[in-house]
Amino acid sequence: MKKKTFLITMSLAVACSLVVCGCGKGKKSAESSSSGEKRTTTTSTLMPEASGEVTYGNDSISIDASHTDDGYIMVRYNGSADKIQVQIHNPGGGEPYQYPLPIGDYQTLPLTGGDGTYQVDVLEHVSQDLYSMGLSQPIDVKLSDEFRPYLFPNQYVDYTPDSAAVSLGIDLSDNSTDDLNFVTNVYEYVTENISYDNDKAADISVNYIPDVDATLESKTGICFDYASVMSAMLRSQSVPTKLEVGYSGTAYHAWISVYLAETGWVDDIIEFNGQNWSLMDPTLAANNDEDSVKEYVGDGSNYTTKYTY
């Protein structure tokens, strides 16, 4: 059987000094196996909800913590400030996760620090770079299992049952033999149908939030968009997927890790050649020969995860 190589890492080149990041063009459809085996396609998409069973807040701020066992909270702001930032401090400490909060709508924010007490701070913009504390709330979390935060949409992996990404995930799953084949098909579709947007990468905002359906419609994006689109399709098909942000050397990056029942968590910068897992970065691979890429990636020590969504 011929070996088939695929990569399941996405890279965000906001400040990529190593290469001009790019991805393959053209279209390629997923191919079904001649064995007749079929993956069981998920037809019911897990969606977050603000059910009101556990809430915190005041006249301007509402935190719905009804489903922390599923690895998320929902936050809404209806006050007079023009900008809002939410900071989530994980139980293990470290730098807080920061989320820009649109005014008026609930936003789903993930709880990816495991079990324990999270501190959620909602900051109201005052002037220039000054913010005041609108609400500070500790929230105790006990996950129903480790995978739940990586099976729901959130602010950075945002989709609904009506999203094009969900529909496409169903189509690709229907043409897959198992989870591994499905990940392959999702990767190939995204990298071969979406072109890298160098202009967008050069002028990306600090509070950039991917829009998966806009990316699929325009067929362009930065690698954060690639990672978000892949995460949406995989999560909507019940494949636990982490969207991770950090550094490759001094370049800011985003990539994904997936959970496969046969393998466990396939973390960080991964290539699968049909038999073995090894390190590789597709953003680099799109613009460099294989030996150069592997020399840079090495044992993965160039890569440092800062945030997991």
Instruction: Please report, for the chain, how many H helices and E strands are present, in that order.
Output: 7, 17
Give me the pLDDT at residue 35, please.
54
| 234 three-class SS | helix
Q: Name the CA radius of gyration of the chain, rounded.
A: 20
Nearest-angstrom CA–CA distance, 80 and 168? 39
- Helix boundaries (H) for 86-178: 164-174
What pLDDT score does 273 carry? 52
Q: How much is the pLDDT for 63?
A: 98
Handedness of CA 122, 123, 125, 129 (dihedral sign): negative
pTM listed for this prediction = 0.83
pLDDT score for 226? 83
**Residue 192 gets which letter from DSSP?**
H
| pLDDT digits (tens), the chain, 309 positions | 333 333 333 333 333 333 333 333 333 333 444 456 899 999 999 999 999 999 999 999 999 999 999 999 999 999 999 999 999 999 988 999 999 999 999 999 999 999 999 999 999 999 999 999 999 999 999 999 999 999 999 999 999 999 999 999 999 999 999 998 898 888 878 877 888 788 888 888 888 999 999 999 999 988 788 889 989 999 999 999 999 888 777 777 777 888 888 777 776 545 555 444 443 344 544 444 556 655 665 556 666 888 999
Q: Which residue has the tokens 């084949």?
A: 181
Amino acid at 240: P
Task: Record the tokens describing residue 272, joined without a space.
Answer: 């699968």
